[in-house]
Amino acid sequence: MRYVIIGAGAVGGTIGVRLGEAGRDVTLVARGAHLDALRERGLTLRTPDGTVTGRLPAVAGPDDRPLPADTVLVLTVKSQDTAAALATWVDTPVEGGGTAGERLPIVLAQNGVANEPAALRLFARVHPVCVWLPATHLEPGVVVANGHPHPGMLHLGRYPSGADDTSRAVAADLTAAGFVAPVRDDVMRWKYGKLLGNLGNGVQALLGREAPEALAARVRAEGEAALAAAGIAHTTPEEEAAERSDRVRHRPVDGEERAGGSTWQSLARGAGSAEADHLNGEIVLLGRLHGVPTPANAAVQAAVRRAVRERIPAGGFPLAELEKMVG
């Protein structure tokens, strides 16, 4: 199979370089200065075991040529960029007839749970991935991946449930590339568990590593209450820790620990958007649908939007202001 990695940042860059190192056919999709760097000098992947540079084809999007019929699209953009990415690729012609949306599998290696239904509106073959992959992308052309001894654990399945031969084939390629890649019939249960863990991303992005544990616990408690009211199953921290065990540990790279999670990185880069509306906002949505108060998640969601709008640096949001917003 040929892989097109749509969004060659922290997660997509790590997956793309590792697949390329394992001999798979990989094309990276990026934009701006990052795309320029990929074309000029390749993608540098820094890991606890050393540095490799993947000199892979890099493009801004589909061109006039039909995609080969054995192409797998791997969507790794942030959730706020999903709609635009899906619209860009869905009508791309495929060799032998038809379009990408009609014929090709799309693998969603993204945080949040809103991407799957959005993709299924346009693509017939949707494959969710629960991503446990500690990596950072702050500099054009460079990704730092802290996972060790495996770079990450990627649970795969089919949406809305089950798994198929494509799930298993992609998992086999990811395993060959060094990842732990279990195939799950209930992959969305794992993704909802990951969502609960990701609710603290916005808190960390706003306040830094000194964020009060009580606030992180509160956003998670609201999330658990909202999922319970909606009747949505999810994994527990204990189940996740047992599954991950010592297979994906955070290790320093060149003596440095990972700086921050995905939302922190968006603020640190001044990316102009962040994913809180699809993480904390998912809990706010479920709370409003099922009558569960979610003031802490709503406050984090609004505060992250304000930080993006006012270019407040990562970790620089006033704690007192956020506490006032939470109420």
The per-residue pLDDT string of the chain (327 residues; one tens digit each, 9 = 90 and over) reads: 999 999 999 999 999 999 999 999 999 999 999 999 999 999 999 999 999 999 999 999 999 999 999 999 999 999 999 999 999 999 999 999 999 999 999 999 999 999 999 999 999 999 999 999 999 999 999 999 999 999 999 999 999 999 999 999 999 999 999 999 999 999 999 999 999 999 999 999 999 988 999 999 999 999 999 999 999 999 999 999 999 999 999 999 999 999 899 999 999 999 999 999 999 999 999 999 999 999 999 999 999 999 999 999 999 999 999 999 999
Nearest CA-CA partner of 257 in 132, 114, 148, 175: 148
- Calpha distance 141→1 (Å, rounded): 25
Contacts of 90 (CB under 8 A, 6+ apart): 99, 100, 101, 122, 123
Contacts of 242 (CB under 8 A, 6+ apart): none
Q: Per the structure block, which two tokens stand in for 78?
A: 């942030």
Q: Per the structure block, which two tokens stand in for 109?
A: 């290696």
Q: Helix 213-230 to helix 295-310 angle, to the nearest 10 degrees?
A: 120
Q: What angle do CA 305, 261, 41 make, to 5 degrees?
A: 105
For residue 124, the SS3 value is coil
Residue 182 has phi, psi (to 5 degrees) of -70, 145
pLDDT of 49: 96
Q: Is 156 left (phi over 0), alpha (psi -120 to 50) or beta?
A: beta
For residue 273, the SS3 value is coil
- Calpha distance 21→135 (Å, rounded): 18
Q: Per the structure block, which two tokens stand in for 63?
A: 């061109």
Q: Per the structure block, which two tokens stand in for 264?
A: 């922190």
Residues linked to residue 130 through DSSP beta bridges, in sequence order:
155
Q: Which residue intervals of the chain are DSSP H helices?
A: 10-21, 32-41, 82-89, 100-103, 115-120, 165-176, 187-198, 200-207, 213-230, 237-244, 262-269, 280-290, 295-310, 319-326
Tell me 38's DSSP state: H
Q: What's the pTM value of the predicted model, to 2 decimals? A: 0.97
Asked if residue 149 has a cis previous peptide bond (ω within 30° of 0), the answer is yes
Nearest CA-CA partner of 12 in 160, 119, 122, 111: 111
- Calpha distance 187→181 (Å, rounded): 12
Going from the C-alpha of 75 to that of each of 6, 21, 146, 274, 287, the distances in angstroms are: 5, 20, 21, 17, 28
- Calpha distance 321→325 (Å, rounded): 6
